[in-house]
Amino acid sequence: MADVVTLCLGPALDSTTATDRVEPGRKLRCDIPRHDAGGGGINVARLLHALGKQAVVVFPAGGSTGRDVAELVDASGTSFHTVPASGATRQSFCINDRAAQVQYRFVLPGTPLSSAEQQACLDALTTEATGARYVVLSGSIPEGVPLDIVGRVADCARAAGCRLIVDTSGAALRQSLWVGAWLIKPDLEELEDLVGRRLTNDAEIDEAARDVHHSGNADVLLVSLAERGALVVTRQGLTRIAAFQVTPAGGSGTGDSMIAGLICGLLEGLDVVEAARFGAAAGAAALTRPGTAMADPAEIRRLFATGTVPIRSPALAAS
């Protein structure tokens, strides 16, 4: 029985390689690629497993890429439950340009899930969530899947007595404000999308985060702000968490690592602010890894132990 069940509706076979220089019109000779199982829910479950927690991921898998993803998840030791899909699982790839020291990330679209496949994913989620503490909906929602999938996931979590954590984007993220999720996690760009305006300084970001939290019914709003750190908004107030100082190596999946770290902290008895700080350490550790490689659990704990004290502000009367 797992403490955490993640749902990844848009899994991917992630490949990372490097070349001397990216130039148009030329054959680009690349290094031997690295392949990882990707997609938000898969990334969260893999890191939780590496951190010593009991997690299982539910995801649709189709075609040869779907088999590859399932084999990679299995090789990591992470528990999983696949739902057969008629379409092939999508691919994505990263190209590191050594000369310019930049990374190009290409994300291919996924094959739509049929209504029956969507329901099969929810049925699997319901089965796996029995006895769990957290359900996580993480990653993009495939094209053609209706927005009410977020509410249906919330219903599954509620029926199992689990707290729901949502980390998605676009209209699905907006939908999550109202479904009774315990925590939702936008980044800065997504926060700007939710409030419909650019946010150029800390005061504007704080105000927007409070407004979004007040407008919905989620208990916690966790905003990831990259080099600006993170914000945690609850009914008790707003807390700013400073960024951890690391040397980036082109890593990706920082948001997924943040969610995994947050949940790890919660399972280890931390309050939500300290758990979010653990999540911020996990996100920073992911930046130090190449391509789609997972954050190092030892580095996460080292960063967390050396971090700064969060700055807490009381709740406004309107909140």
- DSSP H or E run through 34: strand 34-38
256 is catalytic: yes
- Domain ranges, ordered by start, for the chain: 4-314
198-250 pLDDT, tens digit per residue, is: 999 999 999 999 999 999 999 999 999 988 899 999 999 999 999 998 877 76
- Outline where the chain has alpha helix (H): 40-50, 63-76, 115-129, 148-160, 170-176, 188-195, 202-215, 254-267, 272-287, 297-305
Closest CA to 6 of 61, 79, 72: 79
How many Å is the maximal CA-CA distance in the chain?
Answer: 61
DSSP class of residue 87 equals S
244-297 pLDDT, tens digit per residue, is: 988 777 666 689 999 999 999 999 999 999 999 999 999 999 988 766 678 899
Q: Which tokens belong to 281?
A: 């350490």
Superfamily classification of domain 4-314: Ribokinase (3.40.1190.20)
State the catalytic residue, choosing from 20, 256, 271, 296: 256
Query: What pTM value is reported for the model?
Result: 0.92
65-81 pLDDT, tens digit per residue, is: 999 999 999 999 999 99
The set of residues, in sequence order, having a beta carbon less than 8 Å from that of 230 and lying 6+ positions away, is: 222, 223, 224, 240, 241, 243, 258, 276, 279, 280
Q: In what order do the strands lie in the sheet with 12-19?
A: 34-38, 12-19, 90-97, 102-107
Q: Give the mean pLDDT of 116-145.
A: 96
